[in-house]
Amino acid sequence: MAAGGAFPVVDLAPFFAEGDSSGRARATEAVLEACRTHGCFRVVNHGVPAELMARALKLSAAFFALPDDEKARARQAEGTVAPVPAGYTRQPAHSADKREYVLVFDPKLGFNEYPTEPAGFREAVEECYAKFTELGLLLQEVLNECMGLPPGFLRDYNGDRDFDFMVAHHYFPATEEENYGLRAHEDGNCITFIIQDGVGGLEVLKDGDWIPAEPVDGSIIVNIGDVILVLSNNRLKSATHRVVRKPAHRHSLAFFLNIHGDKWIEPLPEFTTKIGEAPRYRGFVFNEYQQLRMRNKTHPPSRPEDVVHITHYAI
């Protein structure tokens, strides 16, 4: 594991080479160390074409440059039920987060109605989504080994891909008065991939300090989410991260390898009874947690300390 500044970098090339078992072992150990210390890391040589990611980001920026009435055509249809708001959404003016975004692909809903421009946006997103899914399944196997679980455990436990989704974000330029983009939070899923343009702004909390996850062409930021945190009984971290806006428009894509909403989540025996440790979380149905997180957004509590995090289930 190398470091770009203080940010962990993992080279996944050994997983795409025949017979490089020692290289795979080193990369797996690097992933484990990053998950223990940061809850996130940057991957290179990951199998997703750099040209594809650059094209998807460029077309995403072109979408957000469209007139508001054109973007509005991609809003979620009335009466649609989804775990996150589908289609085009713009944060209310009173929100602390200054961004707009579009849920560009959701297997449960199919594509939303997109404008005819920019040409190729849908195709780039679809191709990116497929590549990120492949990478997510690979890293899930790596995490399975990192956690010392029986071979294929996470693959069987999280074998339903219907709850994965990808979001395109546009963050407005910072002003002299404020630079909030996305407040500090942890992801509620299993694994998140983030690609960003050259503006940057993504930061990760480590030992009380915010570490920039600077843009590096062709690389992908990997965040570990709350599901892995709970399953590992806090052995692996869920990355606390935020976006600080710069004096420029910022664009990013985030892919969420999720888990089925009906799945029961609790610390695994490998991290509790089998080693004589008490569980740090009570069990819950995943949808229950997602609904509480969504309520944070639709009905923000008046006090920040009342926002629901995974600590809601802490013992």
**CATH code at position 60:** 2.60.120.330
Question: Of the candidates 277, 193, 279, 263, which has an alpha carbon nearest to the alpha carbon of residue 230?
Answer: 279
pLDDT at 102: 76
Task: Please tell me which residue, 289 or 83, carries the higher pLDDT value.
Answer: 289
Task: Please tell me which residue, 111 or 304, carries the higher pLDDT value.
Answer: 304
Helix axes 121-146, 21-37, angle to 10 degrees: 90
Q: Is-contact 30 8, C-beta < 8 A?
A: yes
CA atoms of 182 and 309, how far apart (whole Å):
16
Confidence of residue 87 (pLDDT cuts 50, 70, 90): confident
Residue 294, domain extent: 2-313
Percent of the chain having pLDDT more than 90?
A: 63
The first and second tokens of residue 183, run together, are 């407040």
Confidence of residue 1 (pLDDT cuts 50, 70, 90): very low
User: How many domains does one find in the chain?
Assistant: 1
Q: Is-contact 202 212, C-beta < 8 A?
A: yes
Question: Of the candidates 88, 85, 50, which has an alpha carbon nearest to the alpha carbon of residue 71?
Answer: 88
Residues identified as active-site: 250
Question: Which ranges in the chain belong to alpha helices (H)?
Answer: 21-37, 50-64, 68-72, 121-146, 153-157, 226-231, 286-298
CA atoms of 27 and 81, how far apart (whole Å):
40
